[in-house]
Structure 1
Amino acid sequence: MPSADDLKALGNEQLKLQHYDKAVTFYTKAIDLSPSSIYYANRAQAHIKMENFGLALNDSTEAIKLDKNYLKAYYRRAVAYSGMLQYKKSLNDVRTVLKFAPADKNAQRLEKNLVRVINRIRFENAIQVDDESSIFDDIDYDIGDENDNGLHLDIEVTKADKRNKIHQVVNVKMTEEYVEKMIELFKNKGTLPKKHAYAIVAAAKELFKAENTLVEIGIKRQKTAGSEYQNDAVKKITVCGDTHGQFYDVLRIFETFGKVSKDHTYLFNGDFVDRGSWSCEVAFLIYSLKLLYPNNLYVDRGNHEADDMNQVYGFQDEVKAKYTERLFKCFSESFNSLPYSTLIGQEYLVLHGGLFSNDDVTLDDIRGIDRHKNRQPPKEGIQMEMLWTDPQPENGRAPSKRGIGLQFGPDVTKKFCDKNHLRKVIRSHEVRDGGYEIEHDGRLVTVFSAPNYCDSQNNLGAVVELTLEGDEYKEEYRTFKAAPHPDIPPMAYCKNNLF
């Protein structure tokens, strides 16, 4: 029988191979044999790699209880706190490390980045303006760009006086030719003219803002009192999960499963930015397709379409590096306009995270959310849960392994689906080795569309295709491998490395 140290060594091997689940298994067996601060801290590191920051926090705290002088445990807990966006607690722990090990390079780097993030948040809170103002009202769309890169875009700006302030509404006449040229420009490491960039984000924001918090598509035609009502049923819908700035994989999605068209609707289920180093390109492609096919491309908000995540996981720094700080603020405002969920054919609820802490939540509760009330997603309530929660195999509910939100079991999914007359829930938010997973007795599907996530996970990507056959949608789960891309690592533009 292997000793605890033997099991730790096996865990270390799996950690180096980036097999984090296996590493956790070996460390757990070592802990069961002989609890040790080292084993707990090592398991915390494996959880950090999987972004299970809540579990990493628990393990680091257990390590500190066993040995209050074990500095590595304080550092791991600092990283876990930063992953949970609790920056002040993270800073306290990292300064504990530096008190006793002032030359620790990792702790020095983390302290520097934490101070930068905390100061930036403090500054942005101090200059926060009223909810009626819009960054788009101050954009000059007549600005000249030194080079239009061969792109032509018709931009129309109308102005209206609202409460003694001039508001600008932007309309863009998008074309297939423009989208094709834009893709080629991005492949050649080019950027859009700034005027085009501002206009595309502004015009897309108006379309998203006009949609309901619960978008309803693919609604079958029904009759009441002899008259037809509601939309024509959409014949084919492709649901994509997280794409996380992996532009070349998004292109592969369209190449493999077909382009957006009036006969083929796409739904991107959040987290299309951050992590990957082409988040700008992904966002501009999705927004441009929304302008070209407003009734055939939809986007749900994910937990990464938020300022606090963008500050840490790369999108803000990428936009600043490729364009301007002001453009990031434009994207931020557009994210605040994104719907939170989509109902397909009255039978499939699509949302980024998962279900709720309360069994009484209904589709009408989602419909009733005033998502424009807050500039950023709330840190509690059903909006937070729609972005952050995860499934678990056991019945009931449990604290989140992420440290944010919660976990919910098959019984929770069944109650919700039965109560709301749904066939199933489709969500994203988590890597799956096979690209997708059918869970909770078939009532829940997780789909993830960023293959070889962060160039390290070796997972497949997947989409869910819903094709109308007669009066019912037929489900098909299709997978794809990662596409080749230029040699630029994930988060290449990120200046706030907190992990």
Structure 2
Amino acid sequence: MAENEELTGPVSQEDLEAAEKFKNEANEYFKKQNYISAIELYTKAIEKNPKSAVYYANRSICNLRLENFGYALTDASQAISLDHTYTKAYYRRAAAYMSLGKYKNALKDFHYVTKVRPNDQDAKLKYNECNKIAKKIAFEKAIAVDKKEVNIADAINLDAMTIEDEYEGPSLEDGQVTVKFVTELMEYYKNQKKLHKKYAYKILLDVKAYLQKQPSLVDITVGDEEKFTICGDIHGQYYDLMNIFKLNGLPSESNPYLFNGDFVDRGSFSVECIFTLFSFKLLYPNHFFMSRGNHETVDMNRVYGFRGEVTYKYSSQMADLFTEVYRWLPLAHCINSKVLVMHGGLFSKDDVTLDDIRNVERNKEPPEDVLQLVSPRLRDHLLAAVATYNKKNPQNKLNSNDLNIPGKPTPIYISEHLSPANKFLHAATRIKAKNLGYSDAMGNLGAFITMNGKDLKPNFTSYEAVPHPDVKAMAYADSVLSMFY
């Protein structure tokens, strides 16, 4: 979203005044945590006066709050290019780099601030905390066994795991997920109890085996009179997940669902969310679908809490197994050859076909070179070949031969990771759990989409947050992140 064109020519007094008016209005929306409206107004301010570093820096913090880290990064960089002494912009860019897992880049920005402002204790504190994480990750990588040579799933010995007599939780029946099991599991989790590790491992092993046989793009058929539901980011908010099922019915063969990535992290009930979702996946494999999101990645899980939560509730070995499973999740789904659903945005070129997505190799982490791409969403997209959004052409699309079918309406794209300015996209950033934030305070409504196979028209159902046990968001995450938001 940051403008890259050459900034030349004077700005009229009329435009300067209009820009300040837009900025002040945006500031009020920011105070109310209405970040989307704030971004729209900061953008108008920038259009009137593209030479103000403040406008870009302000839009950057809004994008940080919305997890638009790529946009936040480019905005902060633009602010710095306009004013090399603007320390707040360095803070914003460092936060974006941190959120993208680029700690060395963040350290450079903090080093600059501490150099020009040696008495800035806040900058020193953030530099030290960022440095701790960078060293911790470097140490973990140094001692880690080469994951290409070790398959965690092969090292799991279920026979050696004993079910203790005192365990009173749900049990798999002949090693299989049943309706009885998943129903009891959801109630068990509501009471903040833990599934036995033997059953947890069995679910992960079975899900991995199933996903390995799936394509990168899954085709879904929905009958004319059948309902289909699409849910966005759950982010470890188990009680919101239960509320969705209360409002819309439990998944079943007659009530199919697609959960479009970001099942974990941030919320502190990610373990409960993912085992519930995986259980439904095993129970209804042809009527319950899951896409990989940017938070089903090892770097995000390390920073935003999921790895810490799994290690606390189970073990680091299980956290490693989750990484293996996530790498096999499908990247996109196509409903009735008409509705394309994927977690990231669209592509950095316009001639991508559905077959290109089908041919993407999974079983990997997002490539390190994503930051070199054109996409302002950058690393928080899953794979460069699948989900890089083209800021130069916001109306870009798949090869028209893929989704434009005679006699059908215009193709629909559903994604969590596009700018609210992209009005052609029906879903944009709206189908998320309620109050996605670092202290349950993002302020967004929760929502999900339902459609029928006949017209594929997306219908939105929104909901308020529901009460949950007194466990703070990001309880298992690296505490340094709270310093930036």
Q: TM-score normalised by the shorter chain: which range applies? A: 0.7 to 0.9
Q: Say if 1:362 and 1:420, in contact at 8 Å, map to a contact too.
A: no
Query: In the superposition, relative to structure 1, how do residues 384 and 178 fare at CA in structure 2: closer, same or farther (>3 Å)?
Result: same
Tell me the alpha carbon deviations over residues 458-482 of structure 1, each in whole angstroms, 9 at most, x when there is no partner.
333222223345xx65654333332
User: Which of these residues, 334, 337, 341, is aligned with residue 346 of structure 1?
Assistant: 337
- Check if 1:74 corresponds to 2:90: yes
Tell me the alpha carbon deviations over residues 208-261 of structure 1, each in whole angstroms, 9 at most, x when there is no partner.
1221212122177xxxxxxxxxxxx99332121221111111111111111111
C-alpha separation in 1, matches of 2:176 and 2:453: 31
TM-score (norm 1): 0.78
Deviation at 1:425, TM superposition (A): 3.4
User: Which of these residues, 310, 320, 340, is aligned with residue 301 of structure 2?
Assistant: 310
Equivalent residues in 2 for 1:70-469, closer than 5 Å: 70-99=86-115, 100-101=117-118, 104-105=121-122, 107-121=124-138, 123-124=140-141, 127-129=144-146, 131=148, 133-141=150-158, 142-144=160-162, 149-154=167-172, 172-218=175-221, 235-372=226-363, 374-376=364-366, 379-380=369-370, 384-385=383-384, 388-390=387-389, 397-398=390-391, 408-412=393-397, 415=400, 418=403, 424-430=411-417, 439-440=423-424, 444-446=426-428, 448-454=431-437, 455-468=440-453
Deviation at 1:420, TM superposition (A): 7.5
Partner of 2:4: none
Query: In the superposition, relative to structure 1, how do residues 27 and 107 fare at CA in structure 2: closer, same or farther (>3 Å)?
Result: farther
Query: In the superposition, relative to structure 1, how do residues 341 and 360 fare at CA in structure 2: closer, same or farther (>3 Å)?
Result: same
Tell me the alpha carbon deviations over residues 71-127 of structure 1, each in whole angstroms, 9 at most, x when there is no partner.
333222211222333221101111223343356246414532443245414532663
Indicate the SS of the match to 1:360. Answer: coil
Equivalent residues in 2 for 1:34-45, closer than 5 Å: 40-45=56-61
Identical positions, percent: 35
C-alpha separation in 2, matches of 1:438 and 1:95: 36
C-alpha separation in 1, matches of 2:401 and 2:97: 32
Tell me the alpha carbon deviations over residues 138-196 of structure 1, each in whole angstroms, 9 at most, x when there is no partner.
1232223667641253487xxxxxxxxxxxxxxx3112222222222222222222222
Q: Say if 1:110 and 1:497, in contact at 8 Å, map to a contact too.
A: no
Which residue identity does 1:310 align to in structure 2?
N
Which residue identity does 2:268 align to in structure 1?
S
Query: In the superposition, relative to structure 1, how do residues 431 and 276 fare at CA in structure 2: closer, same or farther (>3 Å)?
Result: farther
User: Which of these residues, 6, 18, 31, is aligned with residue 16 of structure 1?
Assistant: 31
Q: Say if 2:336 and 2:453, in contact at 8 Å, map to a contact too.
A: no
Q: Say if 1:461 and 1:480, in contact at 8 Å, map to a contact too.
A: yes
Deviation at 1:11, TM superposition (A): 5.0
Query: In the superposition, relative to structure 1, how do residues 387 and 257 fare at CA in structure 2: closer, same or farther (>3 Å)?
Result: farther
Query: In the superposition, relative to structure 1, how do residues 306 and 284 fare at CA in structure 2: closer, same or farther (>3 Å)?
Result: same
C-alpha separation in 1, matches of 2:56 and 2:382: 33
Task: Give the structure with the larger strand fraction.
Answer: 1
Deviation larger for 460-469 or 343-352 = 460-469
Deviation at 1:300, TM superposition (A): 0.9
C-alpha separation in 1, matches of 2:165 and 2:357: 45
Structure 2: gaps spanning 5 or more residues: 1-13, 374-380
Q: Say if 2:26 and 2:42, in contact at 8 Å, map to a contact too.
A: yes
Q: Say if 1:217 and 1:234, in contact at 8 Å, map to a contact too.
A: no
Query: In the superposition, relative to structure 1, how do residues 35 and 371 fare at CA in structure 2: closer, same or farther (>3 Å)?
Result: closer
Structure 1: gaps spanning 5 or more residues: 157-171, 221-232, 391-396, 400-407
Deviation larger for 343-352 or 297-306 = 343-352
TM-score (norm 2): 0.80
Query: In the superposition, relative to structure 1, how do residues 415 and 294 fare at CA in structure 2: closer, same or farther (>3 Å)?
Result: closer
Tell me the alpha carbon deviations over residues 309-364 of structure 1, each in whole angstroms, 9 at most, x when there is no partner.
11222211221222221111111111011111122222222211232223222222
Q: Say if 2:340 and 2:412, in contact at 8 Å, map to a contact too.
A: yes
Q: Say if 2:426 and 2:458, in contact at 8 Å, map to a contact too.
A: no
Partner of 2:8: none
C-alpha separation in 2, matches of 1:11 and 1:457: 17
C-alpha separation in 1, matches of 2:46 and 2:141: 46
Q: Say if 1:4 and 1:34, in contact at 8 Å, map to a contact too.
A: no
Which residue identity does 2:348 align to in structure 1?
S
C-alpha separation in 1, matches of 2:283 and 2:184: 14
Which residue identity does 1:429 align to in structure 2?
E
Deviation at 1:205, TM superposition (A): 1.4
Query: In the superposition, relative to structure 1, how do residues 42 and 107 fare at CA in structure 2: closer, same or farther (>3 Å)?
Result: farther
Q: Say if 2:35 and 2:63, in contact at 8 Å, map to a contact too.
A: yes
Indicate the SS of the match to 1:453. Answer: coil
Tell me the alpha carbon deviations over residues 363-412 of structure 1, each in whole angstroms, 9 at most, x when there is no partner.
2222222213x35567559962476445xxxxxx426xxxxxxxx52353
Q: Say if 1:462 and 1:477, in contact at 8 Å, map to a contact too.
A: yes
Query: In the superposition, relative to structure 1, how do residues 495 and 427 fare at CA in structure 2: closer, same or farther (>3 Å)?
Result: same
C-alpha separation in 1, matches of 2:443 and 2:357: 35
C-alpha separation in 1, matches of 2:91 and 2:386: 28
Partner of 2:377: none
Q: Say if 1:265 and 1:296, in contact at 8 Å, map to a contact too.
A: yes
